[in-house]
Amino acid sequence: MKRQHLLAAETFAYSYDNYKDHLDVGNIRFTKLMPRDVDTLEKAEREGWIVEELAEVLERDLQQAHHLRRAYEKARQIVDAPTPVEAFRRGVRFSIEHAVEQGLDDEEAIEKLVVQICYRAADLAYLLEGEGAPLSRYSRELRKEPGVEYEDLE
């Protein structure tokens, strides 16, 4: 998929495989409408639009426009990550932050978070398959801990 499609998948909360399936059958929502909204969000960010202007162009109310702007900002951070593993780490972090905001205080909430992390793992697999890279290539990056330096063993 193109960057624009990955951004649309992230912005509108679809897994990469699911989004690609919809592209493959030519679903207009996925081939034209969501990418168009992503282009608008990208332009709005570049040009510094206020949320009222964004809402008008997207034909959404202010709350929806604000939500889409925030979703796009996170999507861009994930899609533009320097490596597939960093994209995964950012996605997991955003999923955890969202779960905490919603109240991660019971089994149902924990299970929803587990499902989201599994979706993130599936997206990582999609990205790695596109690169033709095994997960093991990124083992060290996956195990990276803040403040811990790893010596190069090669």
pLDDT digits (tens, 9 = 90+) for 54-110: 999 999 999 999 999 999 999 999 999 999 999 999 999 999 999 999 999 999 999
CA distance readout (Å), 38 to 42, 45, 63, 88, 125:
6, 10, 17, 21, 24
Using CA atoms, how far apart are residues 54 and 73, in angstroms rounded to an integer? 14
Residue 14 C-alpha from the chain's centroid: 8
Angle at 69 between CA 64 and CA 71, to 5 degrees: 90
Q: Residue 49: what are its φ and ψ, rounded to 5°?
A: -65, 150
Q: Is residue 146 scored above 90 in pLDDT? A: no
Q: Are 3 and 22 in contact (CB under 8 A)?
A: no
